[in-house]
Structures are given as C-alpha cells and as structure tokens.
Amino acid sequence: MSKVLVIGAGGVGSVAVHKMAMNPGIFSEIVLASRTVSKCDAIAESVKQRTGQTVKTHQIDADDVAATTALLKAEKPELVVNLALPYQDLAIMDACLNAGVDYMDTANYEPKDVAKFEYKWQWEYQDRFKEAGLMALLGSGFDPGVTSVFAMWLKKHKLKTIRTLDILDCNGGDHGQAFATNFNPEINIREVTAPARHWENGEFVETPAMGMKQEFDFEEVGPKNMYMMYHEELESLARFVPEMERARFWMTFGDEYIKHLTVLQNVGMTRIDPVMYEGREIIPLQFLKAVLPEPSSLGETTKGKTNIGDIATGEALDGSGEKTFYIKNICDHEDAYAETGNQAVSYTTGVPAMIGAAMMLTKKWRGEGVFNMEQFDPDPFMEMLNEHGLPWTVEELPAPLPF
C-alpha cells in the first residue's frame, strides 16, 4: 500500500495513471501533477469512470525546484514518477533529494538548447541519492526500458554472453494524418534528426542521420523500412553488457514521414536556436509543435500495431554454440485506446512506467543510488508485462541478422 505522485499529464502520464488505478493493491493513493491542471483533471475523470478510483490533482511547474519540493513535502509520496519531458529530469531529481522521496522516469535528461541526450548528468546524482538512502530508477518506458529488460532476460535464460544486439522498433500504426508524431513532436524530431550512433568494438561510431536503411518483415505488421539511429539505452547497455561487440537501434519510418521531415529540416523548421519574428524570439521547432496535431488526439483514429523487440546473438547458456534469439511485444493501437483512451505508443511506455514503479514500491527492485534497468532481476518485471497488457514472445532464429 503506497502513495505515488506522477508528474506529467500527457499520453504516457495518462496510461500510467490508468494502469496504476487498476492495481490499487500496489498503488493505494495516486496524485497527478502537471503544468496544465485541466489535463490532470480530465485524466482523473477518465480514471474514475473506468476504474472507480480517485486521483488527486495539482498544478505544478516542475522546472521550479522549490515549488516541486513544497508539493512533495505536503503530499509525502513514497515515489515520484516523472512523466513530464526530459528537460525536467534534473529539477525533479533535485526536488526528490530535498524532500527525501524516491525517483523514477522514462527518458534521460536533455538540455533544452542542445539536441543531445545522455545519462552523464543523471549518473552524476549517484552519490547524492546513495548518501540520502534514496533510489532513482532511470528509463522505465519501452525503449529505453523494456528493451534493456529483454536483453537482460536473454542473458539470464538463454545466452551466456551477447555478441551482437539489435533493437527493432516498428510502429505499424496509421493515424490518417499527412504528418504527425506519435509522442511529443519536439522530443521526437530532435531524436530523429540527430546523427546516428551505434556501439562497435568498444566505442560509439557516428554516422549521418537516417543514413542506414534496411527492410524488415515485422510479424503482424508486414515489411517496413527501418533506419539506424541513436537511442539512449545503447549507452546503458554498453555499460552493463560490456562484452557486446556491436549494438544498434532501428526505427521504422514511412516514406511520407521522411518526405515531410526532410522538407521541414530543409526550410529550417526543426531548428532549436531562437530566431527573431515580429520583434520576439521564437524557436522554430517549438512553433512547429504548436501547429502539429497533439499526439494524444491521434488515439481515436490510429489503427494497426506496434512491434518492438531485441534480436541478440551470442554463446548459448546450454553450451550448444552460438545462437540467435528474437524477443518482442506486439501491441494493438485500437485495443490500447479502448482500455485507456490512448494509442499504443503512449501505452507501450505508460505500462512499463507503472511496472517500474511497482518494482520499486514492492521493493522487488531496491537499492540506494541511481540505477538503470539492466541492474535488476528481469524476471518480476517480465511477469508483470505479461499480466498487464504487454505480453512478449521469444523465439530462436535460424541465423543472425544478415545485415
């Protein structure tokens, strides 16, 4: 029986709060705080209708450390689940230290003025969390999050060592719009337009954005073009699975998406430096976000499936030589919408956020300091994925990936 305070009332926050309310044995009290309190109230109303549970709401600007500290001291939750934007991570970690509360998030810190995300800034909180006897768990979404737990499950049950790892993220959903992003457009476009990086022979190798393309036939979706890009779990996987010779991340994009993004980039609409417009500074990418559809509005029309998983090749645990395994989840956009009012991209992130929080509150995952998903026993997390809407399968492939 524990009290949790969630910050951020977007698609991911909405799914996580709905799923927490469906598990009152673990989450006995839920508080939801965000910049726009009306969005918190709308989620609380939907939760009440769907589950009968009450969610308390607050307005908070999480960039304001003093205000967040005051809210935490007043509400006294056992855990803060940060589902706002990556820009708020450090401010919320500071508030947790001030108020003596555990911390969890789904995306690593990113400064607003540089399109660069890395764990460095949050790993630097290690000593402060440890000395305070507090726990911070980083990246408990799907990717990062489940993709790391999948890799550790393979290492525990199938492979003694992982030689190569490929993470394949396919969104086969169609929202019927010419161009829209499935989660926060600013974060999504910054991620996609950054140079690709993959791990090879002990170092990160950088290549041009969207420069490497492969077609892959995804189960229940069909053949899709996927592009190699940098993704944050590569950094923690390289640290905690040091024997890997190579690790790569791939994401599918349709031709229409690439065409629109190329034009937007060419005309300067994805810039994150300020430009003067009619006497005031604007950031083109933030203006673009304001004219694109809200990701949360896409749920009602999105059809199709997501298919996200890991393909790992390495020495089999049973001594039978080198083997390749594919472990994945397939999630249906319409089912996700029917259950929580949000499409599958929010669902596949919000469910693991609820599970990570459950791991911490039930003390199945416990430690003092700052932790990544790779550092804990994957089994209880994997069990909850099966029980709470993200069932997974594992199969042996006849050969490693041919590319």
CB of 163: closest distance to ligand NDP in angstroms?
A: 25
The owner of tokens 């640290």 is 239
Q: Give the integer Cα–Cα distance in Å for 150 and 146.
A: 6
Angle at 125 between CA 360 and CA 120, to 5 degrees: 105
CB of 137: closest distance to ligand NDP in angstroms?
A: 12
Q: Give the integer Cα–Cα distance in Å for 271 and 284.
A: 6
Q: Which of 48, 54, 61, 205 binds ligand NDP (CB under 6 A)?
A: 61
CB of 166: closest distance to ligand NDP in angstroms?
A: 17
Quick one: which H or E segment has residue 39?
A: helix 37-51
Site string for ligand NDP, 15-34 (x = CB under 6 A): -------------------x
CB of 346: closest distance to ligand NDP in angstroms?
A: 6
Burial of 355 (0-12, 13-18, 19+ CB in 10 A): buried
Angle at 233 between CA 215 and CA 121, to 5 degrees: 140
Q: Which of 5, 6, 9, 336 binds ligand NDP (CB under 6 A)?
A: 9
Q: Which of 83, 170, 189, 354 binds ligand NDP (CB under 6 A)?
A: 83
Within 150-189, the residues that bind ligand NDP by CB under 6 A are: 183-184, 187
| Overall residue count recorded for the chain in this entry | 403
> Up-side HSE of residue 208: CA atoms within 13 Å toward CB?
3
Q: Is there binding between residue 10 and ligand NDP (CB under 6 A)?
A: yes
Burial of 217 (0-12, 13-18, 19+ CB in 10 A): exposed
Which CB sits closer to ligand NDP, 183 or 325? 183
Q: Which of 16, 17, 19, 39 binds ligand NDP (CB under 6 A)?
A: 39
Within 91-130, the residues that bind ligand NDP by CB under 6 A are: 106-107
Q: Which of 4, 6, 8, 356 binds ligand NDP (CB under 6 A)?
A: 8
User: Which residues have CB under 8 Å from 127's CB, separation 6+?
Assistant: 369
Number of residues that bind ligand NDP (CB under 6 A): 34
* Residues contributing to the site for ligand NDP (CB under 6 A): 7-13, 34-36, 39, 60-63, 83-86, 88, 106-107, 141-145, 183-184, 187, 295-296, 346, 349
